[in-house]
Amino acid sequence: MTRILFIGHEASRSGAPMVLLHFLRWLKANNSQFQVDLLLLRGGDLEKQYRSVANVYAFPQSELRRMLRRGIEYLKKQREIETKPKPPKLAPFYRKYDAVVGNTVESLEYLKHFKQKGFHTVCWLHELEYVLKFYSELNFVQLSAYVEEFIVVSKAVDRMLRQFGIVTKAHLVYEFAKTDIRVNEDPKTIRSQLGIPPDAFVISGSGTIGWRKGVDLFLQIASQLAFKNPNFYFVWVGGKSPYSDVEYNQTQHDLKQLGLTERVIFTGEQKDPHRAFAATDLFVLTSREDPFPLVCLEAASLGKPVICFEKAGGMPEFVGQDAGAVIPYGDINAFCEKIIYFYDHPKQLEKAGQAARAKLNSDFSLEKSCRAIEKILSEISAGKETAEVCRSSGKATTENSAARAPII
């Protein structure tokens, strides 16, 4: 039996936690050789679902206490005060594991602890440069020294690692989403519930409301197109950030001032975002930085083409030349022109949507990515078993040689 510890930064309904849940479900259904523990740094809506597929151990502290602790540690480092914090009284800190897999950059400080105990450490990295600046680039590089292998979710993430001078082995395994998504409701019914005419051309975006997700760019696109064509409507699936209301309030102010309250619908956070995607014609990723967002894959599973920016993360690796369009970074005019093109050419819209769905079911499938991660973990386990055999064999050989040595 191979014992694996996963470290999750939280159990929210967001990208990295959802990917981890998908993988743990797949692992439980397809491989019985792994015994899985999950250490959650913060709780969230997915915690109950995590408990159905792993032994879950959650930190008892609140986010505020955690932030205060990290602030104190930072000040101590600044003053060159050496500290050796005691591990929390949670079972994973006192067990042996074949591998410890940290999900997201927030796991790095804990991977250091397990590496120092002699365990094989893997960081499943879902972040790019802008996010890491808030974490601290220097801290990221220093803690990466305690990682033996990375799993990167796009080529863009791998390039970032190399730009930081990190040469640690990295496995490219694309993010993945469920491909068997079905929405049985009539799209016109869903549109009616959203306050959208049944025959409108609907453009959707998604994410927490903030600068990185480009919700302001989404509004600029809507502002250009809504008044050119009364048939264009826009839906943003997602809610405000749990850390600040400021950007949400700014967005609502812009929405009102632009006169778009009837043409742009903000759904808020949705447990089932697929309903909204099913009622739209086209998905636009306005993110300024996004490693490989699941919402694009979920839209693709429903046959929706994706338009995204280049140099903004890994989604151009999926979209390519056939599953939508890749627009020069920040070029709102070009973005609008491509939307109008798909509106004017419905056959091309359908063709791009079919290509997006076909890619998701082949090169970017959940099955393919889960098997790739399973293989990484199996190879780690096999390597440890081989090392144990070699050590045991070496010890036995030494003992036998001692037994055969002549007495002088």
The answer for residues whose C-beta is within 8 angstroms of residue 288's C-beta and 6 or more apart is 130, 211, 212, 213, 214, 217, 309, 312, 330
How far is the CA of 228 from the CAs of 221, 222, 223, 231, 327, in angstroms?
11, 10, 9, 9, 21
- Which position has the token pair 């694309």? 174
Is the pLDDT at 385 greater than 80? The verdict is no
* Least confident residue range of 178-187, 241-250, 293-302, 318-327: 241-250
Dig out the tokens for 241 from the structure: 């950030």
Number of H helices, E strands in the chain: 16, 13
- Greater model confidence, 17 or 76: 17
What is the band of 406 on the pLDDT scale with cuts at 50, 70, 90?
Answer: very low
Neighbours of 395 (CB within 10 A): 10
Class of the CATH-defined domain 187-360: alpha beta
Is the pLDDT at 36 greater than 60? The verdict is yes
What is the band of 199 on the pLDDT scale with cuts at 50, 70, 90?
Answer: very high
Nearest alpha-carbon partner for 14 in 172, 241, 171, 212: 241
Dist CA 8 CA 10 (whole Å): 5
* Predicted local confidence at residue 88, as pLDDT: 72
* Predicted local confidence at residue 78, as pLDDT: 55
User: Where are the domains positioned within the chain?
Assistant: 2-176, 187-360
For β-strands 232-237 and 2-8, DSSP reports them as unpaired
Looking at residues 382-388, what average pLDDT do you find? 64
Query: Is 187-360 the same fold as 2-176?
Result: yes
Is the pLDDT at 14 greater than 90? The verdict is no
Which residue type occupies 343?
Y
* Least confident residue range of 69-83, 193-207, 238-252, 378-392: 69-83
Residues in a beta bridge with 276 = none
* Predicted local confidence at residue 401, as pLDDT: 44
Instruction: Name the pTM for this structure.
Output: 0.86
* Tens of pLDDT, residues 132-167: 887 777 789 999 999 999 999 999 999 999 999 999
* Predicted local confidence at residue 234, as pLDDT: 97
Q: Which helix (H) or strand (E) holds 368?
A: helix 366-404
The answer for residues whose C-beta is within 8 angstroms of residue 399's C-beta and 6 or more apart is none
Fold of 2-176: Rossmann fold (3.40.50)
- Greater model confidence, 81 or 28: 28
Dist CA 251 CA 209 (whole Å): 8
Neighbours of 271 (CB within 10 A): 7
